[in-house]
Amino acid sequence: MNYRRGFFRAWVLLSVLWIGAIATLAISATGPNSQNGVIYSYVYVMRPDIKPPYDKAAEGPIDEVFQRPSEVTAPPTFAVLERRYWDDWRRGVAAGRTIAMSFPDGSEFMTSAALNEEDRKFLSEAFWDQRWWRLAERAWPWAATAVAVPFAAFVLGAALLWVASGFRTR
């Protein structure tokens, strides 16, 4: 009886089943329309002429405190809005202080209504262009789990078989 071949085949079978299960979970968690329940907001960039203390500057109009998104040299950055702030942002949408934009992949983006139409269009295009990076950011833990567990099982199995081979008589 060849234990090495049998255990290797069992490892291959279990690895394929594991990767299939993780792929199914990952697609349901990160695939199309899985972005529902995730809201993003634009990360504003402070104007370079604003100096500390920032709390006084934050009281001014948005265009006096932050750079226009289209004038920032780096690509726009978007952050996941924490769930505890959703109600405040939704109230802002109802009051007209905030604008919510929905996209075909189910993602939602909110920004200040104080931005002009040109900046809102710029941000919405940048947000849509970055959708693959957001997907990759959400999918990489799944991919790492799908690969790491079978790899660890293989290394552990190989080590155990190596130890067991030391007890064989020649």
- Each residue's pLDDT, cut to its tens digit, for the chain (170 residues) gives 677 888 899 999 999 999 999 999 888 877 655 555 678 888 888 888 777 766 665 666 777 778 888 888 888 999 888 888 888 888 988 998 888 888 887 788 888 888 889 999 999 999 999 988 888 888 899 999 999 999 999 999 999 988 988 887 77
10 Å CB burial of residue 167 (0-12, 13-18, 19+) is exposed
CA distance 26 to 33: 13
10 Å CB burial of residue 142 (0-12, 13-18, 19+) is middle
131 touches 159 (CB < 8 A): no
Written as one string, the DSSP assignment of 101-147 is EE-TTS-EEEEETTS-HHHHHHHHHHHHHTHHHHHHHHHHHHHHHHH
